[in-house]
Amino acid sequence: MTTSSYDIKDLGLAEEGRKRMEWAEQEMPVLRLIRERFEKERPLAGIRISACLHVTTETGNLMRALAAGGADVVLAASNPLSTQDDVAAALVAYEEIPVYAIKGESNEVYYQHIKAALDHNPQITMDDGADLVSGILKDRKDLIESMIGSTEETTTGVIRLKAMAAEGVLPFPVIAVNDSDTKHMFDNRYGTGQSTLDGVIRATNVLLAGKTFVVAGYGWCSRGIAERAHGLGANVIVTEIDPIKALEAVMDGYRVMPMEQAAPLADFIVTATGNKHVIDSNTFAVVKDGCVIANSGHFNVEINIPALEQMAVTKKQPRRFVDQYVLPDGRQINLLGEGRLINLASAEGHPSAVMDMSFANQALASEYLLKNRDSLGVGVHALPKNLDQEIAALKLRAMGMTIDVLTPEQELYLNSWQEGT
């Protein structure tokens, strides 16, 4: 491969990346089975796939599975701060997969990398946040004709794609991988739960027990964060705008209140709402001295960082991934990971065992798009239930568990309305 066909930090990191990808793969039995089948059946033979995903060990294993299926794959980062540079190097050096991703890249380089992924002339795009699809709509409409479709990993991406569909500008089918039960119920809850706490702890090394931990939002991601923060002994407060989710949080045992009341009590505030300016100047005005603020939502808009920059008189960096802002009244606010998703900025993202299911969905979604290219209409689709269930069944089997099956009598009962008391 020529050096112009990739842009990574250091090829010399490849050996470390290969070892870490192998380590991760031990926890990814479902994706491994799919890779082995893909190797035999080559269902993606010759198909150009451009992926824009967090470049992690788990993504590295997904790229290997797609390449084993015969796809011609390139990979760009889906966030400037989430790339694991050793994985990028290993994919280039050992798998001959072009990668465009450098941890800490500027916004300008980030978009150059997206452009490079689109210059691959994809037939399938695989997004985490819909940046490739929006790049096609904004700058590369010429690609639409040869596109088979796209797959989307995350809640925020699915929201963007549904907005495109509602406006009538989405030009091809998209599989919303996030809508599979084996994705959002596990990756978003257990993955974000564990990895966000991991990110906060690695960035700060601060004890959580006995502290007040405010979680903004109570969707699948934020409920995972709340659960794990509670598990570490923190007093958790939830803020919400949806009355049903707020009620759920109350019944799960958390205090619920508006952010303006929660902020003065908080030692930590973590956002995972998918919305912008959830933490704004009115929050900075009331937080207590030393408060730690982080985001685990997809985009770095949840915390109004420009407002904080304006309010602060000084800014220091006491540790990696911690920016300490001092306000005119002397209060210090510790912002983690520049407000980018903290689980990938200061930790390693979701653990492999949970990404196993997310990326099994991604691999099967690309195969499904291809097989059903003539019947799938323009729009945002979920993967069929049987594939979702197959992933869960394979995961259970890999975990050494078996479950009951319906008896013929029970099946009949479930399909009839005549039996009653």
Residue 223 annotated as lining a ligand binding site? yes
Residue 60 or residue 173: which is nearer to ligand ADE going by CB?
60
27 touches ligand ADE (CB under 6 A): no
Among 203, 230, 198, which residue's Cα sits nearest to residue 214?
230
User: Smallest gap, in angstroms, from Cβ of residue 58 to ligand ADE?
Assistant: 4
Rule CB under 6 A: choose which of 59, 150, 273, 366 binds ligand ADE: 59
Closest contact distance (angstroms) between CB of 154 and ligand ADE is 8
**Beta-sheet pairing, 235-239 with 291-295:** unpaired
Which residue stretch of 51-59, 277-285, 288-296, 319-327 sits at the interface with ligand ADE (rule: CB under 6 A)? 51-59
Contact (Cβ atoms closer than 8 angstroms) between residue 356 and residue 186? no
Report the C-alpha gap between 270 and 275 in whole angstroms.
13
Is 356 annotated to bind ligand?
no
- CB 42, min distance to ligand ADE, A: 25
183 is annotated as contributing to ligand binding: yes
By CB under 6 A, the residues from 182 to 241 that bind ligand ADE are: 191
50 is in an annotated binding site: no
187 is in an annotated binding site: yes
Find, among 254, 213, 256, 255, the residue nearest to 233 by Cα: 213
Which neighbouring-strand residues pair with 150? 125, 174
Q: Which of 18, 35, 48, 54 binds ligand ADE (CB under 6 A)?
A: 54
Q: In what order do the strands lie in the sheet with 48-53?
A: 99-100, 72-77, 48-53, 124-127, 149-152, 173-176, 379-381
State which residue has the least CB distance to ligand ADE.
349
Site string for ligand ADE, 298-327 (x = CB under 6 A): ------------------------------
Site size toward ligand ADE (CB under 6 A) is 10
Considering the rule CB under 6 A, would residue 64 count as an interface residue with ligand ADE? no
59 among the known binding-site residues? no
| E strand residue ranges, 91-204 | 99-100, 124-127, 149-152, 173-176
Question: Judged by CB, which is closer to ligand ADE: 54, or 223?
Answer: 54
CA 295 to each of CA 205, 255, 289, 335, 342: distance values in angstroms, whole numbers, following the listed order: 17, 20, 19, 9, 6
Question: Is 56 part of any known ligand binding site?
Answer: yes
Q: Which of 382, 303, 383 is nearest to 345 (CA)?
A: 303
CB 298, min distance to ligand ADE, A:
9
221 marked ligand binding residue: yes
Site string for ligand ADE, 335-364 (x = CB under 6 A): ---------x----xx----x---------
Question: Is residue 155 close enough to count as binding ligand ADE by CB under 6 A?
Answer: no
| Cα–Cα distance for residue pair 101/8, rounded to 1 Å | 5
Residue closer to ligand ADE, measured from CB, 69 or 193:
193
406: left (phi over 0), alpha (psi -120 to 50) or beta: beta
Cα pseudo-dihedral 158, 164, 167, 168, rounded to 10: -110
Determine if residue 346 is labeled as part of a ligand binding site: no
User: Tokens at residue 227, please?
Assistant: 């659960």
Rule CB under 6 A: say whether 58 interacts with ligand ADE: yes
**Distance in Å, CB of 303 to ligand ADE, minimum:** 19
Smallest distance, ligand ADE to C-beta of residue 176, A: 16
Longest dimension (CA), the chain: 73
Give 56 or 212: the residue with its C-beta nearer to ligand ADE: 56
Residues 202 and 206: their CA atoms lie apart, in Å, by 9
- Whether 52 has a binding-site annotation, put simply, is no
- Residues 105, 77 contacting (CB under 8 angstroms): yes
Q: Are 150 and 357 in contact (CB under 8 A)?
A: no
Computed from CA positions of residues 234, 235, 237, 238, in that sequence, does the dihedral angle turn out positive or negative? Answer: positive
Is 82 assigned to a binding site? no
Using the rule CB under 6 A, which residue among 14, 17, 56, 91 binds ligand ADE?
A: 56
How far is the C-alpha of 62 from the C-alpha of 249, rounded, in Å?
A: 35
Annotated binding residues for NAD(+), written as ranges, equal 154-156, 188, 219-224, 240, 275, 296-298, 343, 350
Annotated binding residues, written as ranges, equal 56, 128, 153-156, 183, 187-188, 219-224, 240, 275, 296-298, 343, 350
Annotated binding residues for substrate, written as ranges, equal 56, 128, 153, 183, 187
**Can you give the binding site for ligand ADE, defined by CB under 6 A?**
53-54, 56, 58-59, 191, 344, 349-350, 355
